[in-house]
């Protein structure tokens, strides 16, 4: 790729607005759509989403686990989803939350961040809780191939706070350490670095200093999980222009009708645009 992920994301958001729509083929959603909870239903669900969102929103985020649950045939559907979205010119953020060390991390990087891999997306979510440095093979692979990563920093699940908000002797939280490590990786990047963060839109007051991040923020929880436009402004403040809110079930519940599904995504995007414009 000739452009960095940060540059491509900036361009996509400028063209199509700041929204990432999730593809979460949960068995309950398959049933709500009148589909069977098997590979055939998975494929129909996922490809309907591709048709609805491809070329319409800045990014789409398939949740890898819901495809992996069906074994090799489910992973084959995921491969097609990634290929078809990228062919439509839509950025793909694969939500895999991988995190390991050494050669295992290198293998994950080869799978998700290396050109030629059938699972290679434009960006992948990573967990830094074996130490931020353990992510180096993935960060390096992303830099070489013009891809990006989103590193878990402050998540909305209640269990996460015990670790993420824990502080050291200086009072700096674990989440802030992750922010600072990402900022170091993004220093000097223009227009935006390739090492993003995941910060839940429902976390409330973060106490994070994001001023030097110079990277994107993926914010799940907008819509069905309860986060509103007001929450986006309250949680992210002056960093809101760097935020890519994610809505999954809040949009997906409008399926299976293709036009209704697409319109739900576009309405959600317009809500986010209004939030950014209002500051």
For residues 89 and 4, give the distance between their C-alpha atoms in angstroms, rounded to a whole number. 15
For residues 27 and 44, give the distance between their C-alpha atoms in angstroms, rounded to a whole number. 13
Where do we find the tokens 């990006």?
148
Per DSSP, helices labelled H in 157-221 are 161-164, 174-186
Nearest by Cα to 250 from 215, 220, 217, 214: 220
For residues 109 and 115, give the distance between their C-alpha atoms in angstroms, rounded to a whole number. 10
CB 18 within 8 A of CB 201: no
Catalytic residue positions, numbered? 97
226 token code pair: 């309860």
Nearest by Cα to 151 from 127, 119, 185: 127
Where do we find the tokens 């949680």?
235
Question: Strands, E, within 57-189: which ranges?
Answer: 59-62, 91-98, 123-126, 148-154
93 beta partners: 123
Where do we find the tokens 């998540």?
155
Nearest by Cα to 143 from 195, 207, 192, 87: 195
The greatest distance separating any two alpha carbons of the chain, rounded to the nearest whole angstrom, comes to 54
For residues 51 and 257, give the distance between their C-alpha atoms in angstroms, rounded to a whole number. 11
């Amino acid at each position: 790729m000739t452009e960095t992920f940060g540059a491509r994301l900036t361009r996509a958001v400028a063209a199509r607005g700041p929204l990432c729509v999730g593809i979460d083929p949960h068995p309950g959603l398959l049933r709500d759509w009148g589909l069977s909870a098997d590979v055939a239903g998975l494929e129909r669900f996922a490809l309907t989403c591709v048709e609805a969102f491809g070329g319409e929103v800045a990014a789409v985020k398939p949740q890898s686990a819901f495809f992996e649950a069906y074994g090799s045939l489910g992973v084959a559907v995921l491969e097609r989803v990634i290929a078809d979205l990228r062919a439509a010119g839509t950025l793909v953020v694969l939500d895999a939350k991988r995190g390991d060390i050494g050669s295992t991390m290198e293998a994950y990087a080869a799978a998700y961040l290396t050109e030629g891999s059938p699972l290679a997306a434009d960006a992948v979510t990573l967990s830094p809780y074996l130490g931020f440095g353990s992510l180096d093979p993935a960060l390096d692979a992303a830099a070489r191939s013009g891809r990006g990563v989103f590193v878990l920093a402050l998540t909305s699940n209640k269990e996460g706070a015990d670790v993420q908000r824990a502080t050291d002797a200086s009072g700096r939280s674990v989440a802030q350490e992750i922010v600072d490590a990402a900022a170091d990786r993004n220093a000097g990047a223009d227009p935006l670095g390739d090492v993003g963060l995941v910060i839940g839109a429902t976390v409330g007051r973060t106490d994070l200093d994001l001023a030097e991040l110079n990277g994107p923020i993926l914010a799940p929880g907008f819509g069905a999980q309860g986060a509103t436009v007001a929450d986006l402004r309250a949680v992210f403040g002056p960093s809101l222009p760097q935020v890519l809110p994610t809505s999954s079930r809040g949009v997906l519940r409008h399926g299976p009708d293709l036009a209704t599904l697409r319109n739900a995504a576009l309405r959600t995007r317009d809500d986010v645009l209004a939030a950014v414009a209002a500051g």
